[in-house]
């Protein structure tokens, strides 16, 4: 695993705002690295820094071992061997599809062959002579990918490449583009605010907030072992429940939970990440007398699962899968919360919970109230779908389990 | 009219928008206005068809050929000059760190509103044989300056009057073009200057060409500047022919020739403009990176300063100099006041009439999109696009033959103005009507108004800003109009424009300076109005 691109301590400020704030990131050969972050988190700036369209204020960027930005080096974009697929495609409006793809192949004697090869790869051989304004969004997208691939760049950067397409087309193109890039053996970084995209497309994914990268790991690791409470609630739906850790076990109001990863070494109070799929609900016919201290206050169908929101008498709320017994439960019913046998992570309390500064109306609702052992609720917009904070807009499957 | 109404029904069904069938009265009024707008053209065709000697024979005369050749040459020079000035100015004021680029852009657009004959007068009065510059240089033994008359002078003055068309079109294209397209070219291996050559210029080309062709149309239609600078372009030749000869058929043939040229240019321009629209790709916009000019900013500033100096400072300064001289020599201010009153009276009447006539046209276009409304819109646009001298000539023919009672009356002049400049008012009106929709009127209907009453009580008050703006634009345009005032005005009737033309032609520069100063002020008002309209439409 050699690093195709290596960023060390890269920073870029716009006036008082640190768009990129000390980022270390490694892109490995042949991999697709997705960068997930809310809008305004600096992910586009990150790409523009790698491409050379912006210069970093601090840090270094290396591509294939060559320093392209940083002290003593400032390679202009045209000599970086970096390809980019822009959010709005940015096809040259005065050139045909084939001429667009051939643009970066000026000095290549075999460019006709290469163009034909790429048009085949993206399935547009029949449209070589079309002008860009006649193309559909999906076709323009493929041309943009082919154009970026044509000069065989070391790195391909994709800036929210699917955000301008409608939902059905987006899902199809995601798969297509991933296949195309894999067939070309490209090393790629894709930035997105859509967690489905980041989870499904990435060999590895990075979570970026306020100019910082919080975690880089395989998508299932980011989901299963989030590095901090923000990542836990940003990627998927998570309840953060107070617990007491000892010997790899956290004791919570839901009972003992086995811990994995670094959390096994914790001792003392912690926030335990409990996903809805870690829980299911059972009827409590006799109400509180039956241990049914929870009451159903909300219900959402995610397309694959029914999620129910329950509240305890002390005000704590949880999202839980309905489970086999829970299908006929109604809002207002008293229930018991049953913990499935799972392993999860916990974060020692006593430090502030990081969260994004709300950049827009959909930003995270972080109410880090801590009572005496009561739950801290970091996620969820009560009236909206039980989506991870800040990314609910494009979520199609918030109840995903990995 | 029953046939028209029948066709209307079919048109309404074919139209993409299911629009309520327009009231018959509205259709009749709209079609009448549209037909009036192209009556001059239609009459000219008829007139040219029964030329006794045969129109073709007239066309083949050496005099005709040399005039056409000269006109084409002038148009070519103006196209070249306006692109050479307008396109670099647009790039400098949008994409570079040129000091004061906003101010340069504003100053460079102002000449668009200055009538060409004022600039021409200024050049003659400044650089001509008895002009200000020669007067100043005489003590040093300079008795002759390079000739301002003829092709060179006409091309220079028209270039200085029309380059803002290229500037505006190119600026708009630069501002709406997506900078990621240029970034993509960098990432595909182009250096900055390669990007300019391979991407930026080709993308801008349709806009530059469209602007250049508008400048060509301006040059073809211009009457004032070529007359004062004594260059025989078609527009001037038409006038000379009309004045000089008893047989006015040649004038009619020349006029048709000019219409044909202008029409061809307009068609190409429309085509290129659609292409430019296809190049205006959408998407997320980030401001384009500014190019640091470095030491090049000095030649850049010198370039902008020379353009503004020639196109703006020379007219203003010359007019001021001659105004002061005239006042010192005891110029007759009352004559100027008389001209101003006459001009403003006609302009105000024309503006009022244009606004009244524009309402049905705009309502038809905004509320009842159909073949009929589109036809009416096209007809009034054609009328607006005809060169002023052509319209003037045709109306003279028509009035003397058909309605001699109206010939050389102010009523006819005002009516012709109102119909010709109606698109200036109907455009803004239509936009406002589309924006308002019908919901306010519908609210009025539910509260007991009939359609007509609701329109009057609800929509008309809401339209007032657009009515005022459109009327003001017509007023300012009419106040500066020359050829129609010259040919259609009653005997002895002078406006500010005809006064400048008369005085400057005869070499009375001081007499021309007063009216010219007033028109310069009006030009500034025109620009302010247009800038405000543009700001509001954003």
Query: In B, which residues are within 8 Å of A101 by CB distance?
Result: none
DSSP 8-class letter at A127: G
- A226 backbone dihedrals φ, ψ, rounded to 5°: -60, 145
Whether the pLDDT of residue A376 is over 50: the answer is no
Test B186 with A78 for CB contact under 8 angstroms: yes
Asked if A127 reaches chain B (Cβ–Cβ under 8 Å), the answer is no
Mean of the pLDDT values across residues B436-463? 82
Most confident listed range (A340-349, B53-62, B362-371): B362-371
A64 CB-near residues (< 8 Å, 6+ apart): A4, A5, A81, A154
What is the pLDDT, as a whole number, of residue B1? Answer: 36
Whether the pLDDT of residue A397 is over 50: the answer is no
User: Scanning every residue of chain B, which has its alpha carbon at the shortest distance from the alpha carbon of A80?
Assistant: B187
Q: Sheet with A58-63: list strands edge to edge.
A: A17-28, A3-14, A58-63, A66-70, A73-74
Test A90 with B199 for CB contact under 8 angstroms: no
What is the pLDDT, as a whole number, of residue B369? Answer: 85
Query: In B, which residues are within 8 Å of A51 by CB distance?
Result: 183, 187
What is the pLDDT, as a whole number, of residue A363? Answer: 34
DSSP 8-class letter at A218: -
**CA-closest candidate to residue B490, choices B396, B386, B353:** B396
CA B71 vs. chain centroid, Å, equals 18
CA angle A40/A44/A45 to nearest 5° reads: 90
Asked if A40 reaches chain B (Cβ–Cβ under 8 Å), the answer is no
Buried b (16+ CB within 10 A) or exposed e, A48-62: bbbbbbbebeebbbb
Strands A3-14 vs A17-28: parallel, antiparallel or unpaired? antiparallel
- Interface A-B: count of C-beta contacts within 8 A: 87
Mean of the pLDDT values across residues A298-314? 84
Residue A46 near residue A208 (C-beta atoms within 8 A): yes
Query: In B, which residues are within 8 Å of A91 by CB distance?
Result: 181, 281
Q: Residue B191 is nearest to which of A78, A93, A104, comparing CB atoms? A: A78
Mean pLDDT is lowest, of A115-124, A328-337, A368-377, for A368-377
SS3 call for A319: strand
What is the pLDDT, as a whole number, of residue A379? Answer: 41
DSSP per-residue string spanning B63-108: HHHHHHHHHHHHHHHHHHHHHHHHHHHHHHHHHB--TTHHHHHHHH
What is the pLDDT, as a whole number, of residue A288? Answer: 61
**CA-closest candidate to residue B120, choices B482, B529, B526:** B482
Whether the pLDDT of residue A179 is over 80: the answer is yes
Test A94 with B205 for CB contact under 8 angstroms: yes
DSSP 8-class letter at B147: -
Test A51 with B187 for CB contact under 8 angstroms: yes
User: Scanning every residue of chain A, which has its alpha carbon at the shortest distance from the alpha carbon of B192?
Assistant: A78
Mean of the pLDDT values across residues B120-124? 92
Q: How far is B340 from chain A (nearest CA, A)?
A: 51
Q: Residue B187 is nearest to which of A83, A92, A132, comparing CB atoms? A: A83
Q: Residue A93 is nearest to which of B180, B190, B203, comparing CB atoms? A: B203
Most confident listed range (B245-249, B305-309, B430-434): B305-309
Confidence grade of residue B43 (pLDDT, cut at 50, 70, 90): confident
**CA-closest candidate to residue A122, choices A135, A106, A140, A104:** A140
Q: Which of residues 69-108 of B touch A (CB under 8 A)?
A: none
Asked if A8 reaches chain B (Cβ–Cβ under 8 Å), the answer is no
d(C-alpha B80, C-alpha A389), whole Å: 59
Reported as a single tens digit per residue, the pLDDT across A32-75 is: 999 999 988 899 999 999 999 889 999 999 999 999 998 888 88
CA angle A219/A221/A226 to nearest 5° reads: 105
Whether the pLDDT of residue A156 is over 90: the answer is yes
Strand partners, B432: none
Test B278 with A133 for CB contact under 8 angstroms: yes
Most confident listed range (A364-378, B16-30, B113-127, B142-156): B113-127
Q: Residue B190 is nearest to which of A78, A83, A133, comparing CB atoms? A: A78
CA angle A205/A209/A212 to nearest 5° reads: 85
Test B283 with A89 for CB contact under 8 angstroms: yes
What is the pLDDT, as a whole number, of residue A356? Answer: 40
Strand partners, A273: A240
Q: How far is A77 from chain B (nearest CA, A)?
A: 5
Test A94 with B188 for CB contact under 8 angstroms: no
Q: Residue A93 is nearest to which of B183, B278, B284, comparing CB atoms? A: B278
- First and final C-alpha spacing in chain B: 41
Q: How far is B92 from chain A (nearest CA, A)?
A: 21
Strand partners, A239: A274
d(C-alpha A334, C-alpha A290), whole Å: 9
Q: How far is A222 from chain B (nearest CA, A)?
A: 30
Mean of the pLDDT values across residues A256-264? 83
**CA-closest candidate to residue A295, choices A277, A317, A279:** A317
What is the pLDDT, as a whole number, of residue B455? Answer: 85
Asked if B207 reaches chain A (Cβ–Cβ under 8 Å), the answer is no
User: Scanning every residue of chain B, which has its alpha carbon at the shortest distance from the alpha carbon of A108?
Assistant: B189
DSSP per-residue string spanning A49-95: HHHTSS--SEEEEEETTEEEEETTEE--GGGS-EEEEBTTB---TTS
State the CB neighbour count (10 A cutoff) for residue B496.
28
Test B189 with A90 for CB contact under 8 angstroms: no
Query: In A, which residues are within 8 Å of B189 by CB distance?
Result: 78-79, 104, 106, 151
Interface test with A, best of B182, B184, B185 (most A CBs within 10 A): B184
Tokens 């050479």 sit on residue: B84
Dig out the tokens for A72 from the structure. Answer: 């003593």
Confidence grade of residue B143 (pLDDT, cut at 50, 70, 90): low
d(C-alpha A4, C-alpha A31), whole Å: 10
Confidence grade of residue B274 (pLDDT, cut at 50, 70, 90): confident
Query: In A, which residues are within 8 Å of B199 by CB distance?
Result: 92, 94
Whether the pLDDT of residue A285 is over 80: the answer is no
Asked if A131 reaches chain B (Cβ–Cβ under 8 Å), the answer is yes
Test B191 with A76 for CB contact under 8 angstroms: yes
What is the pLDDT, as a whole number, of residue B172? Answer: 86
Number of H helices, E strands in chain A: 8, 22
CA A376 vs. chain centroid, Å, equals 23
What is the pLDDT, as a whole number, of residue A291? Answer: 58
User: Residue A36 — left, alpha, or beta (φ > 0 → left; ψ -120 to 50 → alpha)?
Assistant: beta
Q: Sheet with A239-246: list strands edge to edge.
A: A343-344, A255-259, A249-252, A239-246, A268-274, A346-348
A72 CB-near residues (< 8 Å, 6+ apart): none
Whether the pLDDT of residue A138 is over 60: the answer is yes
Whether the pLDDT of residue B377 is over 80: the answer is yes
What is the pLDDT, as a whole number, of residue A354? Answer: 44
d(C-alpha A283, C-alpha A287), whole Å: 9
**CA-closest candidate to residue B285, choices A324, A90, A145:** A90
Confidence grade of residue A292 (pLDDT, cut at 50, 70, 90): low
Interface test with A, best of B179, B180, B183, B188 (most A CBs within 10 A): B188
Average pLDDT value over all residues in chain B: 86
Tokens 């990995």 sit on residue: A402
Asked if A78 reaches chain B (Cβ–Cβ under 8 Å), the answer is yes
Residue A24 near residue A9 (C-beta atoms within 8 A): yes
Asked if B287 reaches chain A (Cβ–Cβ under 8 Å), the answer is no
Test B188 with A164 for CB contact under 8 angstroms: no
Q: For a pLDDT cut of 70, what percent of chain B falls above it?
A: 91
**CA-closest candidate to residue B344, choices B220, B196, B521:** B521
Distances (CA, A) of B38 to A194, B34, B146, B190: 58, 7, 43, 52
Whether the pLDDT of residue A398 is over 50: the answer is no
Residue A359 near residue A393 (C-beta atoms within 8 A): no
DSSP 8-class letter at A298: E
Dig out the tokens for A19 from the structure. Answer: 């768009």
Asked if B188 reaches chain A (Cβ–Cβ under 8 Å), the answer is yes
Q: Residue A104 is nearest to which of B178, B189, B283, comparing CB atoms? A: B189
Strand partners, A282: A336
Dig out the tokens for B215 from the structure. Answer: 């400048």
DSSP per-residue string spanning B223-269: -HHHHHTT---HHHHHHHHHHH-S-THHHHHHHHHHHHHHHHHHHHH
Test A78 with B187 for CB contact under 8 angstroms: yes
State the CB neighbour count (10 A cutoff) for residue A151.
20
Interface test with B, best of A92, A188, A189 (most B CBs within 10 A): A92
Query: In A, which residues are within 8 Å of B181 by CB distance?
Result: 90-93
Residue B307 near residue B85 (C-beta atoms within 8 A): yes
* Tally of CA atoms within 13 A in the half-sphere of A325 that contains its CB: 12
Residue A254 near residue A240 (C-beta atoms within 8 A): no
DSSP per-residue string spanning A250-293: EEETTEEEEE-GGGGG--EEEEEEE-GGGEEEEE-TTGGGGT--
Residue A219 near residue A205 (C-beta atoms within 8 A): yes
Asked if B502 reaches chain A (Cβ–Cβ under 8 Å), the answer is no
Asked if A148 reaches chain B (Cβ–Cβ under 8 Å), the answer is yes
Dig out the tokens for B250 from the structure. Answer: 């040649």
d(C-alpha A253, C-alpha B299), whole Å: 77
Confidence grade of residue A359 (pLDDT, cut at 50, 70, 90): very low
Asked if A89 reaches chain B (Cβ–Cβ under 8 Å), the answer is yes
DSSP 8-class letter at A134: G
Test B181 with A90 for CB contact under 8 angstroms: yes
Reported as a single tens digit per residue, the pLDDT across B26-35 is: 899 999 999 9
| pTM summary value | 0.77
Q: Residue B187 is nearest to which of A82, A94, A106, comparing CB atoms? A: A82
């Amino acid at each position: 695993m050699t690093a195709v691109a290596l960023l060390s301590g890269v920073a870029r400020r716009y006036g008082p705002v640190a768009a990129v704030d000390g980022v270390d990131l490694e892109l490995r050969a042949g991999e697709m690295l997705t960068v997930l972050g809310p809008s305004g988190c600096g992910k586009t700036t990150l790409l523009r820094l790698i491409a050379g369209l912006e210069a970093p204020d601090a840090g270094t960027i290396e591509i294939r071992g060559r320093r392209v930005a940083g002290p003593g080096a400032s390679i202009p974009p045209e000599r970086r061997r970096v390809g980019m697929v822009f959010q709005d495609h940015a096809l040259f409006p005065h050139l045909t599809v084939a001429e667009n793809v051939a643009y970066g192949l000026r000095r290549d004697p075999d460019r006709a062959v290469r163009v034909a090869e790429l048009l085949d790869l993206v399935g547009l051989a029949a449209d070589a002579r079309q002008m860009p304004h006649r193309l559909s969004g999906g076709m323009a997208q493929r041309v943009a990918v082919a154009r970026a691939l044509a000069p065989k760049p070391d790195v391909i950067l994709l800036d929210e490449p699917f955000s301008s397409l409608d939902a059905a087309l987006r899902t199809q193109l995601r798969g297509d583009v991933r296949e195309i890039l894999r067939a070309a053996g490209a090393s790629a970084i894709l930035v997105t605010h859509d967690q489905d995209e980041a989870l499904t497309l990435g060999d590895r994914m990075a979570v970026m907030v306020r100019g910082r990268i919080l975690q880089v790991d395989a998508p299932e690791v980011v989901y299963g072992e989030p590095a901090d409470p923000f990542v836990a609630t940003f990627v998927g739906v998570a309840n953060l429940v107070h617990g007491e850790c000892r010997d790899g076990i956290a004791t919570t109001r839901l009972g003992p939970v086995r811990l994995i990863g670094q959390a096994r070494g914790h001792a003392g109070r912690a926030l335990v990440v409990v996903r809805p799929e870690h829980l299911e609900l059972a009827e409590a016919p006799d109400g509180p007398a039956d241990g049914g201290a929870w009451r159903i206050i909300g219900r959402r169908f995610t397309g694959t699962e029914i999620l129910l929101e329950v509240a305890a008498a002390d005000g704590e709320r949880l999202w839980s899968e309905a489970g086999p017994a829970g299908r006929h439960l109604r809002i207002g019913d008293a229930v018991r919360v049953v913990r499935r046998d799972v392993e999860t992570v916990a974060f020692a309390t006593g430090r502030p919970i990081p969260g994004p500064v709300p950049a827009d109306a959909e930003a995270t609702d972080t109410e880090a109230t801590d009572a005496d052992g009561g739950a801290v609720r970091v996620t969820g917009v009560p009236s909206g779908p039980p989506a991870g904070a800040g990314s609910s807009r494009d979520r199609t499957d918030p109840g995903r389990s990995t | 009219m029953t046939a028209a109404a029948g066709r209307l029904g079919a048109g309404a069904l074919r139209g993409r928008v299911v629009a309520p069938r327009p009231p018959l009265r509205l259709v009749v009024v709209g079609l009448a206005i549209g037909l009036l707008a192209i009556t001059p053209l239609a009459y000219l065709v008829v007139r040219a068809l029964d030329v006794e000697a045969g129109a073709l024979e007239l066309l083949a005369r050496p005099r005709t050929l040399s005039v056409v050749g000269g006109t084409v040459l002038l148009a070519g020079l103006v196209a070249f000059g306006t692109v050479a000035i307008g396109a670099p100015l647009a790039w400098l004021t949008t994409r570079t760190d040129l000091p004061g680029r906003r101010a340069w852009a504003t100053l460079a657009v102002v000449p668009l509103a200055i009538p060409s004959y004022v600039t021409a007068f200024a050049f003659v009065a400044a650089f001509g044989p008895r002009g200000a510059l020669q007067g100043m240089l005489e003590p040093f033994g300079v008795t002759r300056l390079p000739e301002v008359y003829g092709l060179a002078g006409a091309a220079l003055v028209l270039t200085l009057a029309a380059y803002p068309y290229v500037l505006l079109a190119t600026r708009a294209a630069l501002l709406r073009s997506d900078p990621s397209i240029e970034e993509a070219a960098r990432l595909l291996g182009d250096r900055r200057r390669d990007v300019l050559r391979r991407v930026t210029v080709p993308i801008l080309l349709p806009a530059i060409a469209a602007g250049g062709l508008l400048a060509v149309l301006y040059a073809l239609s211009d009457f004032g500047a070529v007359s004062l600078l004594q260059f025989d372009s078609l527009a001037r030749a038409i006038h000379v022919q009309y004045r000089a000869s008893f047989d006015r058929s040649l004038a009619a043939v020349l006029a048709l020739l000019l219409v044909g040229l202008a029409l061809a240019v307009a068609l190409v321009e429309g085509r290129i403009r659609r292409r430019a629209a296809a190049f205006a790709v959408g998407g997320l916009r980030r401001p384009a990176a500014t190019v640091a000019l470095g030491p090049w900013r000095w030649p850049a500033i010198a370039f902008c300063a020379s353009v503004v100096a020639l196109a703006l400072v020379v007219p203003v300064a010359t007019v001021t100099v001659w105004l002061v001289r005239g006042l010192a020599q005891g110029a007759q201010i009352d004559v100027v006041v008389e001209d101003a009153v006459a001009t403003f009276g006609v302009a105000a009447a024309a503006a009022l009439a244009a606004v009244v006539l524009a309402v049905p046209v705009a309502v038809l276009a905004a509320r009842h999109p159909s073949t009929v409304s589109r036809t009416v819109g096209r007809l009034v646009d054609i009328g607006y696009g005809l060169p002023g001298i052509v319209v003037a000539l045709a109306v003279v023919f028509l009035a003397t033959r058909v309605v001699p009672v109206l010939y050389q009356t102010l009523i006819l002049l005002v009516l012709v103005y109102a119909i010709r400049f109606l698109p200036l008012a109907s455009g803004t009106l239509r936009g406002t009507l589309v924006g308002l929709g019908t919901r306010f009127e519908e609210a009025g209907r539910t509260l007991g108004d009939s359609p007509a009453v609701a329109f009057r009580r609800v929509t008309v008050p809401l339209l007032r800003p657009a009515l005022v703006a459109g009327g003001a634009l017509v007023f300012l345009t009419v106040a500066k109009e020359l050829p129609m005032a010259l040919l259609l005005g009653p005997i002895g009737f002078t406006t500010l424009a005809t006064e400048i033309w008369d005085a400057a032609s005869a070499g009375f520069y001081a007499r021309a300076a007063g009216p010219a100063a007033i028109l310069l002020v009006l030009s500034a008002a025109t620009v302010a109005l247009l800038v405000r309209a543009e700001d509001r439409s954003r």
